[in-house]
């Protein structure tokens, strides 16, 4: 299972330190590579450690981006009906895919149908999507078996494993408080 992490906030030094620690803590979940993305203002960050299953090529690396819409995405899990959705989006909107990865449909589906597209997906997954044009940070969880912890410290962080608890608390100038567990 891949590992994902995301941070948003105003303290860019804290984000730098936290992302480094978070990626170190989830490295074992992604033996096939690691990727990170930062927004232009450095206030939003996404990270992914990859366990390549559907598309083992470089095209399946994350974070994934849809530059034409300024969208950025990390995903953990599996979308069971992605082949159907992929074909439907291709037929309806003429989409040209750059990978054979199930994650890519999230970018294109959201770009064309907004958040309504999420209701069409079946599976067990968690993702964080950043829409820079609309200034949105979307977290979507549809899996009771995937650990997700959200902390409010000085920023919001969205690590995908319980092991990240410790690294966030060590870096935090305040005491972290678990506010949601899915």
- What percentage of the chain carries pLDDT values higher than 90? 36
In terms of Cα–Cα distance, which of 65, 143, 142 is closest to 108? 65
Full-model pTM: 0.78
Options 1, 2, 45, 153, the catalytic residue: 2
Q: Would you state the pLDDT for residue 20?
A: 84
Fold of 3-181: 3.60.20
Q: Would you state the pLDDT for residue 147?
A: 52
Is residue 101 among the annotated active site residues?
no
Long-range CB pairs of 162-165, under 8 A, 24+ apart, other chains included: 163/25, 163/26, 164/5, 164/22, 164/25, 164/26
CB-based contact 4:48 (threshold 8 Å):
yes
Tens digit of pLDDT for each residue in 64-81? 999 999 999 999 888 999
Kindly write down the DSSP assignment for every residue of 109-168, as one continuous string: HHHHHGGGGGGG--EEEEEEEEETTTTEEEEEEE-SSS--EEEESSSEE--SSTTHHHHH
**Which residues 6+ apart lie within 8 Å of 178 measured at CB?**
149, 150, 151, 165
Dig out the tokens for 13 from the structure: 């030094």
Average pLDDT over residues 141-159: 48
Q: Would you state the pLDDT for residue 27?
A: 83
Tens digit of pLDDT for each residue in 95-145? 999 999 999 999 999 999 999 999 999 988 888 899 999 888 887 776 544
């Amino acid at each position: 299972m891949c590992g994902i992490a995301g941070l948003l906030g105003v303290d860019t030094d804290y984000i730098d330190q936290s992302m480094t620690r978070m990626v170190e803590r989830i490295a074992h979940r992604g033996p096939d590579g690691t990727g990170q993305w930062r927004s232009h203002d450095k206030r939003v960050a996404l990270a992914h450690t990859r366990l390549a299953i559907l598309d083992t090529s470089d095209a399946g690396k994350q974070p994934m981006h849809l530059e034409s819409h300024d969208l950025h995405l990390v995903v953990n899990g599996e979308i069971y009906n992605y082949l159907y959705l992929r074909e439907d989006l291709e037929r309806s909107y003429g989409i040209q895919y750059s990978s054979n990865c199930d994650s890519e449909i999230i970018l294109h589906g959201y770009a064309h149908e907004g958040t309504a597209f999420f209701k069409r997906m079946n599976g067990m997954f968690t993702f964080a999507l950043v829409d820079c044009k609309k200034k949105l940070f979307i977290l979507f969880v549809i899996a009771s078996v995937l650990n997700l912890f959200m902390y409010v410290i000085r920023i919001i962080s969205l690590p995908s494993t319980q092991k990240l608890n410790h690294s966030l608390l060590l870096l935090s100038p305040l005491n972290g408080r678990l506010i949601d567990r899915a």
